[in-house]
Amino acid sequence: MEKIIQDGKEVVRIESEAVKKLEERIDENFAKAVEMILNTKGRVIISGVGKSGIIARKIVATMNSTGTPALFMHPSDAIHGDLGMVKMDDVVILISKSGSTPEIIRIFPVLRRIGTKIIALVGDMKSHLAKEADIALDVSVEEEACPYDLAPTSSTTATLVMGDALAIALLKAKNFTKEQFALYHPGGTLGRRLTLKVEEIMTKGENVPIVHQDIDLHSAILEMTSKRLGATCVVNDEGKLVGIITDGDLRRAMEKFHDLSNLKAKDVMGKNPKSIKPDVLASYAIQLMETYKITQLICIDDENHPIGMIHLHDLVNLGFITS
């Protein structure tokens, strides 16, 4: 058992040291690579073979989600027609630990004829690829975590981190916002938080608990119970919101009054309840609930009529907040 734990820690140590040494290589070449991509009118096309190809796909995914259009091109497919996707205005990133991967070397002269700019992520800065690329970024490692120095481990980690560094540097240079990120991630929790509006998640119509301020308390409790939101809106003769009755208000009423039978809704309601408009982002509803430590939020129209209600459980179910 102890041997297994030590083996695992050794892998983490080796790979973390490889990543740490990358920091020293974030230099002028790195800045030039970022500027080259920023200034291109085309896309970023990334290519690699084997494990490098897997890392290339991950970097493509990261760039696409952070505002830099990117495509993956497999070198073997490239020489059988996929080079047609490459245009002169594109920037191609070639990944190779040795810098002499046959498939990568084979497509290199064709890319030169197309006229595209080439960035190399290589583990050998003396290699053919490093020397011939427009910009070469050093992702070399002293050792792989594999005890036989065969399986790409530290080297793929280092390459992935360098790709992340490029993507995030580009993100910051473009002033890429959270709202733009959400646009590309509509299915994610962050995307929903930044795009969903209150009207899209609130309880509405006949399912909204509403009682008149002069109704007897017993009827108000029945309205709360039937609508299952743990509260009810209270309105005046004009149907405008004047209060809210929650489970907490009922408990306080039981402590204050010995006889509840003659009480009306207005006698126990909380006045000036927190409310929100339907076109406001749901993220603001979360902020209000957390600030005022409430579990229900009433949605009103421009004339202060209650038209909906959001419950804390709705936000939990959507994954906006944890219970």
**Topology classification of domain 2-176:** Rossmann fold (3.40.50)
- pLDDT value for 6: 92
Cα distance between residue 9 and residue 13, in whole Å: 6
Helix and strand element counts for the chain (H, E)? 15, 13
Three-class secondary structure of residue 94 per DSSP: strand
The pTM of this model reads 0.65
Which of 9-13, 102-106, 259-263, 268-272 is predicted with the least confidence, judged by mean pLDDT? 259-263
Of 106, 126, 108, the C-alpha closest to 117 is: 108
At residue 156, φ and ψ (nearest 5 deg) are: -70, -35
Q: Which two tokens stand for residue 56?
A: 């290339």
- Is pLDDT at 195 greater than 70 in this prediction? no
What one-character-per-residue DSSP string does 272-292 give?
S--EE-TTSBHHHHHHHHHHH
Distance from C-alpha of 1 to C-alpha of 247, rounded to nearest angstrom: 53
CA angle 237, 243, 246 (to 5 degrees): 130
- Give the integer Cα–Cα distance in Å for 303 and 280: 16
- What does the pLDDT look like over 51-75, one tens digit per residue? 999 999 999 999 998 889 999 999 9
* Exposure b/e, 94-123, CB count within 10 A at least 16 = b: bbbbbbebebbbebbeebeeeebbbbbbbb
Instruction: Determine the pLDDT at residue 194.
Output: 60
CB 220 within 8 A of CB 270: no
Q: CA 221 to CA 117: how far, in whole Å? A: 71
d(CA 257, CA 184): 55
SS3 assignment, position 200: helix
Indicate whether 149 pLDDT > 80. no
Partners of 72 in the beta sheet? 46
pLDDT at 323 over 70: no
Q: Which of 57-61, 181-185, 259-263, 292-296 is predicted most confidently?
A: 57-61
Residue 295 CA, chain-centre distance (Å), reads 26
Model pLDDT, residue 179: 67
All CATH 3.40.50.10490 domain ranges in the chain, comma separated = 2-176
CATH classification number, 195-317, choose in 3.40.50.12280, 3.90.950.20, 3.40.50.1100, 3.10.580.10: 3.10.580.10
All CATH 3.10.580.10 domain ranges of the chain, comma separated, are 195-317
